[in-house]
Structures are given as structure tokens and as C-alpha cells.
Amino acid sequence: MKLYGMQQSRSFRCLWALEESGLQYEYIPIKLRINKEDPDSAQNPAYLSINSQGKVPSLTDGEMILTESVAILNHIGRSAPESGLLPIGDLKMQAKHDELVAFVLAELEQPLWSKGKHTFALPEQYQITAMLDTAKFEFTKAVSTLDHLLSSTEYAIGEKFSIADILLAHTFNWAIRFEFDVPQRYVDLRNQHYERPSAKRALKLAS
């Protein structure tokens, strides 16, 4: 496997999962917003042949190419079933895992990316600063809903660290960096999971 990524973007969650999985892989740093002539540029034709959007992450596994982070996470989990990154054999637990992953992507992460787009990612003429209050409102609402979705155990689903925990920790790390109001419970969750050896190795690789 080869993972193409950039620092603590969405590719970091995939890098973390690979470190957690024990699978053999190669990590290839990609640079955004630089001249396409640079061989490491996301706009270089060689990389665009892998990901036509010029975004990260991308994962290649033989002839297969994946360019969506959750698809990559699921592939990693299925490729290393012994890692426990995906719940196996319990349909109800699998369903709850899928529900939580979908919630993180659709509800919890979106206000953060909305702020990111309207503060640095979009061209200035398309940025709408008035929507930042809306993003704050949506994030607060999502956090309130999350309180009812999470189990009372140490981990998001069942008794074992999983892809859902990676997504939650990474998303709350974004929220802290983007200066959203994050309840202490979720600051602690982020800190706890970022202390895992796999997370520390991934951070070192992504720096």
C-alpha cells in the first residue's frame, strides 16, 4: 500500500489507522498550493493521475486507487481484521459503528470544514465571514447530539479502539485548532487517543 497525504489533513486519520493496523505501507508526502512542476505537488500530472481532484488523501493498493478517507479507513480495517479497527461478527455493533462514522462526517466535521473554507481554503472573493456564526451553532448542536450517540465506555463502540475513535479524536483535534468551544470531555478524549503509540508515530511521519 502507498498512502499519499499532507500533515494533519484528512490523510492523517488514514496514516494513524495504518500505524494502528500493523500493515506494511509507504507514506508519500504531498504538497498543496505549490507549482505543478514540483514533483511533490498535488497539481503535478503524476499525482493527478492518481487523484484527479489534486487532493489528499489517496491510497493505492496494487491496481486499486481510493481517494476518500473513510473508504481508505475501511479498506485498512478490512485488510487487518485482527487489529479490531472495524467491529467483526456483530451486526448490531457494526451498524452502530457505521452510524457514528456517518455522523462524524455529516454533522460533526462539516462546521469545522465550513470555517476552514471560509477563512483560508476558498479564494478570498468566495469567503463569507458571516457564516462563521452558523458554523459555531451547527458544531454546538452536533456535539449535543454526540452526547447521546456515544457509549459510556472508554471507546466509541464496544470495548476496543476502532476507526470511530480515530475519526472522533482527529475531528476534535481540528475543532481545538480551529478555536471552537470543545467540552472538556472531548478535549480529554482527544488527548487520551493522541497518546497512543500509533498516533505519536503518525504525527512524527506527518510533521
- What type of residue sits at position 2? K
Backbone angles phi, psi at 56, to 5 degrees: -125, 155
Residue pLDDT, tens place only, 141-174:
999 999 999 977 789 998 899 999 999 999 999 9
Backbone angles phi, psi at 84, to 5 degrees: 75, 10
CA-closest candidate to residue 165, choices 176, 179, 177, 151: 151
Fold of domain 2-83: Glutaredoxin (3.40.30)
How many residues make up the chain in this entry?
207
pLDDT value of position 151? 74
The conformation of residue 32, written as its DSSP 8-state character, comes to S
What are the sequence ranges of the domains in the chain? 2-83, 91-202
Fold of domain 91-202: Glutathione S-transferase Yfyf (Class Pi); Chain A, domain 2 (1.20.1050)
Rounded mean pLDDT of 26-32?
94
pLDDT value of position 37? 86
Rounded mean pLDDT of 128-150?
94
What's the rounded Cα separation, in Å, for the pair 97 and 87?
8
Residue pLDDT, tens place only, 49-106:
999 999 999 999 999 999 999 999 999 999 999 999 999 888 999 999 999 999 999 9
Rounded mean pLDDT of 167-185?
96
pLDDT value of position 35? 85
